[in-house]
Structure 1
């Protein structure tokens, strides 16, 4: 699946809501651009496991979870879950 995911693609939840933008693939995770981080996590890269990718539709990466759930699945660079 990661061969289809590339830099600059929009990451959306199963509900079509924006989650982030792909910075690059690192191992088995999508690294999101820092510019998508908000609140106390602004300026940090966040990651989503490739296992949560349901498919690629044009220039969008659709996740298997709705956006509000997907953000709880994000990890910071340390590998720790993001505390929203």
Structure 2
């Protein structure tokens, strides 16, 4: 069974399988979820330099479920951050 990723909307919270906040959806683009610049883990963790202020993206394949206004991932919050990619 696959999750209907068309239900992912702007401003939904993205959480890991462990309930840890990963970010806030800016938009779905191709096969990834772009997180808002402000909510991406680089910003949340206080990163500076090249990673600060960039959009980050989570592969859509990590989506396990959509529960109300939350996108739940199949990976834990920490593991999901390992999959984050910088996006323009």
TM-score w.r.t. the length of structure 1 is 0.88
User: Match for residue 9 of structure 1?
Assistant: 12
Which blocks of at least 5 consecutive residues in structure 2 are unaligned? none
Q: Considering Cα pairs closer than 8 Å and 6+ residues apart, tell me whether 1 or 2 has the greater RCO.
A: 2
> Matches of 1:27 and 1:75 in 2, distance apart?
14
Deviation at 1:42, TM superposition (A): 2.0
Cα contact 1:35–1:42 (8 A) shared by 2? no
How many residues align? The count is 78
Larger radius of gyration: 2
- After the TM superposition, list the runs of 4 or more consecutive aligned residues in structure 1 that deviate by more than 6 angstroms: none
Task: State the superposition RMSD in angstroms.
Answer: 1.1
Q: Is 1:23 equivalent to 2:65 in the alignment?
A: no
Cα contact 1:46–1:74 (8 A) shared by 2? yes
